[in-house]
């Protein structure tokens, strides 16, 4: 079933989104859409697909103990986030397929957005979660991933000050 789903999704969803975004004849490209590192066809399509999939699955069954609904291995979450962050720097910086000032700036804004996203999520947890006044690695990792996803399409087009806004807004929206 997974192979069939991946084939159908790639053929009927991803290929069209990639064409619309990157082809000189694509309607989004013609309208002036800028997408440096693939955030539109990759992240938006994956997010929309995940939303549809979760709607098909329906609500989770109630959990008997609140402990069971928390992440079970913070070390794995942290390692996964760190490796993703490192890979994201290479992906966003290397999307132009050339060593240039734009590639360097893409790495800088990617790092800044992830950092601000993690910090923002930690501050939201600190003031809004119960128990109050507690920082968590989980919160930092979630915010960093939100910042990474948010900055990807714009990573080759924005400067450092704008990346701070991307990280903040992305983290607040996901929170």
Q: Kindly report, residue by residue over 122-151, the tens digit of the pLDDT.
A: 999 999 987 788 888 999 999 999 999 999
pTM of the predicted protein model: 0.79
Judge contact between 95 and 36, C-beta under 8 A. yes
pLDDT digits (tens, 9 = 90+) for 23-59: 899 998 899 988 887 777 887 788 888 887 788 778 8
**Helices 101-128/74-94 angle, 10° precision:** 150
Q: Is the pLDDT of residue 72 over 90?
A: no
Task: Count CB neighbours of 54 within 10 A.
Answer: 11
Find the helix or strand (DSSP H, E) in which 102 lies.
helix 101-128
Residues in the chain: 175
User: Could you check whether the bond before residue 157 is cis, i.e. omega within 30 degrees of 0?
Assistant: no
Secondary structure (3-state) at 175: coil
**Mean pLDDT for the chain?**
87
């Amino acid at each position: 079933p997974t192979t069939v789903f991946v084939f159908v999704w790639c053929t009927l969803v991803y290929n069209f989104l990639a064409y619309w975004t990157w082809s000189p004849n694509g309607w989004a490209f013609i309208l002036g859409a800028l997408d440096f590192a693939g955030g539109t066809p990759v992240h938006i399509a994956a997010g929309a697909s995940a939303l549809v999939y979760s709607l098909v699955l329906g609500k989770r069954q109630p959990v008997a103990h609140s402990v069971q609904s928390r992440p079970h291995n913070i070390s794995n979450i942290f390692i996964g986030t760190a490796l993703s962050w490192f890979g994201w720097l290479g992906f966003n910086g290397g999307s132009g397929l050339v060593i240039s000032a734009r590639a360097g700036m893409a790495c800088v804004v990617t790092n800044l957005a992830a950092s601000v996203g993690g910090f923002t999520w930690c501050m939201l947890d600190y003031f809004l979660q119960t128990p109050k006044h507690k920082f968590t690695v989980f919160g930092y990792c979630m915010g960093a991933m939100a910042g990474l996803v948010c900055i990807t399409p714009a990573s080759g087009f924005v400067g450092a000050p704008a990346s701070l806004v991307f990280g903040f807004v992305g983290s607040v929206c996901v929170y």
